[in-house]
A and B are shown apart, each in its own frame.
Chain A
Amino acid sequence: MTRTVSATETPSYSSDEMMTVTAGRQLRDGAVCFVGIGLPSEAANLARLTHAPNLVLIYESGTIGTTPRVLPLSIGDGELAETAVSVVGVPEVFSYWLQGGRIDVGFLSAAQIDKYANLNSTVIGPYGRPRVRLPGAGGAPEIASAAGEVLVMLRHQRRTFVERVDFLTSVGFGRNGGSWSRSASAGPAAVITNLGVLRPDPDTNELMLSSIHPGVEVSKVLEETGWTLKVADELAVTEPPTDLELWTLRDLQRRTREAHQSWKPASV
């Protein structure tokens, strides 16, 4: 994981690509992954197309073992059902599959995260009079609590990495950092951003900067974090994307763009 890169070196990839590649690498081949739409879906499919061909992807629309050729725009695109091993109803996917303990990894994003990896996807501002009304919980609260472990992926910004989430939609380690003592889930394992990777301190569950992406200064990460972020004693530098990872990701994005713009009426 360690590699030295000077701050002046110009990378041939974007920070978003670095984030997606790094997030994808967290998924081991053969794992069963419950995937949220957006950034997690892109990273999980990149993993499946590179180092983890046997990764089992489950979307909350009830598509199990799906292998989409292009990224779905929604969690229920036809592509997901057509390429799935099995399709089940939504009550079943949440009860038998997620709550039933069949999921190794839950993969989420959010609008806000705090130092105990609690997530907010509900409102910015007070609930009764929100400044920004966000989409809401969706499947996230139960993915966060029932998956064997949880990965979180989001862009690193001060308004996103906050001391206290405005609304606790999905529990990471709880408001005080100790909620998983009574749970079967190991909770959040890593938070992957466009600047680095944060992992919980095993003693306190507080997120610590454990790896930094090539060319990113630690001061930049601290600046973009709304609490006093601790840095691991042995801070790693993330391995940059390989040519294969970058090519695969860009090819997937290109195919996806074309597919999303090319809708034709069923009949005229």
Chain B
Amino acid sequence: MRKIDCHMHVNGGPRRWGWGDNDRVIDAADRLGIEHLCCSIPVTRGLPGPEEVRECNDGVLEATRRYRGRILGYCYVNPGHQRAALEEIDRCMNRGMIGVKLYNQYRAWDPTVYPIYEKAIDLKVPILWHSGHTLDRATALAVGQPNISDGTDMARAARRYPEAMIIQGHIGGGGDWEWGIKAIRHAPNVYLDTSGSVVDDGMIDLAVREIGAERLLFGTDMTMEGGVGKVEDAHLTKAQREKVYWSNMAGILKKGGYFVP
């Protein structure tokens, strides 16, 4: 079954994720039957300036040129540098990127992020949020992410911007996934991606039960075998699996004018 990985990364700019050349990404995708990988290079700690953000996105752009049609790019920005962030989104979209990536610099509902939502709505592109629900603030601080957003934060933002296409990143990314799923039950414009290292039995099934297969997007976030394996093991119909692997994300991309062949 054809697959679009909606949550992946590449090496580039100032960032190295733990493999060498990005040929390894393509090699991994080939071995697991993944056709397209939507990739970003976020800054994962602190508040980066516009120059560092640009370097990250230049790394993604380089990968999209090198692996044309296989690697699709998200434009990562720090909403705290508002004018630079909006200009950076324009620069990246003009070079063929397909969405916006936000990390943990601000909570999803923070007014600082409002202009980014408005820009993404204008462009009809999705916003992929790094996310996770940790047990308490102390745990979030311990992992260096005091402003990490969870499903509750996503739903709050989605109520303010019902036209936005918000992707709650990596339900298997290591937080309380039951919380993450329940929180977006009544937020129809929040999609959920399946990526992350957690491959708990019951996780994908609960997501389908609570929000429906139409809002679930296949992703790996670098957990390649686990990413495919957990969708394979979920109790989905063939039609549901096809939506999760392919057509849900293909539909999102199409709204922004990007047609996957």
Partners in one complex: no
